[in-house]
Structure 1
Amino acid sequence: MAPIPEDITAFLAEPHDSREYRRALAVKLALLGYLYAAISEMLDVTPGFISQAKKAYAQYGVDGFTLKYQGMQPYLSPEERQSVLDWLQDQQEWSVALLQTHIETTYGIVFQSQQSYYQLLDEAKITYKKSPAHESSA
């Protein structure tokens, strides 16, 4: 049996997300010589999970156990968002196109969805409605 590296022992002694803890524990058990089938059954993980955790540990150390995805970051910081809302309220006229241009030129951001622009207008207490499609008289 190989001795367990101190960094894994220290990682397991600290509070972590259960998924991170499971990765570290899977690697620890693998290093202790447990078969992947036994680890899979004990931790309710797949052999691929164990293999990936070991690979991540070999490459990054205990940082390989941590979750990389921390949620999607908002495009505008809270301060930038407030600045846009203030800007909107200072405008005499507005449109989604004008708002889009302002955000792109000021912050270098283009939202993927038009809904994001409408949400900003709503937050700024600006009422809007789509104009009806003009019918051509033939």
Structure 2
Amino acid sequence: MNAEQREEVLSWLQTKDCWELGELEYKLAFEYNVVYESKQSYYDLFDAASISWKKTTKLNPKADENAVAVKKKRLKHCWQLTGSQSKQEN
């Protein structure tokens, strides 16, 4: 990909806040006939466009207090089982 094409891709990437890697792979393959062997090359493009490739979800599931409470309740039961099993083994 030449410098002009790279700038086009970077401008395109900046049109949205949330991307999937597949969208970038598809665009490069079909519009520019570019397929990178390493995913890092795609991540580098995200980085150059000031997009963190690690931001793959719109909402942090830990922020849902109800979901966290349900999980804690479920795990508390598991912890109690584990604790009682270790006492029986001694």
Please tell me the TM-score bracket, short chain as reference: 0.5 to 0.7
How many residues align structurally? 56
Aligned partners of 1:80 and 1:86: how far apart in 2?
Answer: 10
2:30 is aligned, of 93, 99, 105, to: 105
- Answer 1 or 2: which has greater helix percent: 2
SS class of match (1:90): coil
Alignment gaps of 5+ in structure 2 = 57-90
Q: Conserved in 1, the CA contact under 8 Å of 2:18 and 2:55?
A: no
Aligned partners of 2:22 and 2:8: how far apart in 1?
Answer: 18
Higher relative contact order (CA 8 A, sep 6+): 2
TM-score (norm 2): 0.57
Extract structure 1 runs of 4+ deviating beyond 6 A: none
Aligned to 1:115: 40
Aligned partners of 1:112 and 1:84: how far apart in 2?
Answer: 18
Aligned partners of 1:130 and 1:85: how far apart in 2?
Answer: 17
Aligned to 1:127: 52
In structure 2, relative to structure 1, the CA distance for the partners of 1:130 and 1:124 (3 Å cut) is: closer
Answering whether residue 41 of structure 2 is matched by residue 82 of structure 1, we say: no
Q: Conserved in 1, the CA contact under 8 Å of 2:17 and 2:51?
A: no
Aligned partners of 1:80 and 1:115: how far apart in 2?
Answer: 18
Aligned to 2:79: none
Per-residue deviation at 1:98? 0.6
Greater CA radius of gyration, 1 or 2? 1
TM-score (norm 1): 0.38
Alignment gaps of 5+ in structure 1 = 1-75, 132-138
